[in-house]
Each structure stands twice: as C-alpha cells, then as structure tokens.
Amino acid sequence: MSIKIGFTLGMVMAAISPVYAQTSDEPVQTVITALDSPFVDHPLSAGSEQDVSSSEHKALRAPAPALSSVQVYAVYSSLKGGWQAVPTNTFTLSGYAGGTLRIAVLEVGYGGNRIGWLNGGQTSPYQVNPVCVVNGRYTESCPAGYIVSGWMAYFNADNMSSVAFRYQSTSTNFPNRTLSTSLNIQ
C-alpha cells in the first residue's frame, strides 16, 4: 500500500512541478573537444625512469615523487594538422596561432596548484591526465597497477592570433619548489 501511495504522490509532484526548457535566446555552452594524446605521434623516452608497476613493490604506500620538471611538450594547431612536438629550449613557434590551438604541458613528478597564463590572463587547464612509464616511454594510457609518474595538463588557446603562454606548478611534497615554463606562439 505504501509503495502505491509513494508512486502516486511522485506522479502528482512531477505533473505540477515547473519544467525547464532552454529558450532560443540562451547561448549553448561550448565544449572543449577531446584530442588524441600528443604521445601518440611524438613518443617521449622516459630516460632513466623505469617501468613501475605497483605489483613489483612491497610497499604500496610511499611518498609521491617530487616535481622535477615542467615543459611545454606539444602544441596542437589546426593550421599545422595536429600535434607538433616542441623542441627543448624553444622560446617561440611561428605559424601556429589561429584556429584550434591547444597547449600540452608535461609535468614529471607530482605538482599541484597548476596555473597558466594566456596573454597575461590567468587560466586553469581544461584537462589533466596522469602519465605513466610503460616500456621505457611516457604514456597517458596507464595500465592497471602502474604508478603515475607525472601529469599532462592541457590549455585552450583557440582562435588566438598570438599567444604568450606561461605555466607554473608547485611540487606537492618536499622540496615544495615551484617550476615554470613559457612559450610564445604566433
């Protein structure tokens, strides 16, 4: 009997409750398009880092690795046809700005308080993915049981004709240092 009363009461409330419909004047919320990982076309050797699976270690609880580096890893440009790796010590890229423009920053170690600046305006990454070391290379496709060794943070600079990008992240543990990187995109 109580189920029948509850069902009936629910139907009555649904019938008299106001219903919301989007009017034609309201702007449709924009969505950030998901892109393939820049590691797909531009793999990066993990250097001295080893493949690390949690099953290979006895202690499953240990401090996360301190933030050891941040770098603009790749830039996605619709004008260039996809992700382009950014060589180390590059300060300026030309012919990239305008259209779809995304910036991927690789953090090695554990950082937090991620802040980016696009032409002086502060912004947060629209997406942050874990990065693992598998077969000696960094990947965002972390298999079950592998330990996260860093993060890839993505920023949206769509339709900007010129971009002065700066990024910083602070290590979540000792020595709690703040690392930064920058890139000009034209």
DSSP codes, 2-56: HHHHHHHHHHHHHHHS------TTSPPPP-PPP---HHHHS--B-TTPPP-BGGG
The answer on pLDDT for 22 being more than 70 is no
Give me the chain's average pLDDT, please.
81
pLDDT at 20: 45
pLDDT at 8: 58
Would you give the end-to-end CA distance of the chain in angstroms?
70
Percent of the chain with pLDDT over 90: 54
pLDDT: which is higher, 43 or 129 = 129
pLDDT at 151: 95
pLDDT at 127: 95
Please, what are the domains in the chain?
A: 34-185 (2.60.40)
Other CB atoms within a 10 A radius of the CB of residue 99 amount to 13
Amino acid at 178: T
75-126 pLDDT, tens per residue? 999 999 999 999 988 999 999 988 999 999 999 999 989 999 999 999 999 9
What's the residue count for the chain?
Answer: 186
The answer on pLDDT for 19 being more than 50 is no
28-43 pLDDT, tens per residue? 445 565 677 887 776 7
pLDDT at 139: 92
pLDDT at 27: 52
Q: Using alpha carbons only, how large is the chain's radius of gyration in Å?
A: 22
DSSP codes, 87-120: -TT--EE-S--SSSEEEEEEEESBEEEEEEEETT
pLDDT: which is higher, 164 or 147 = 164
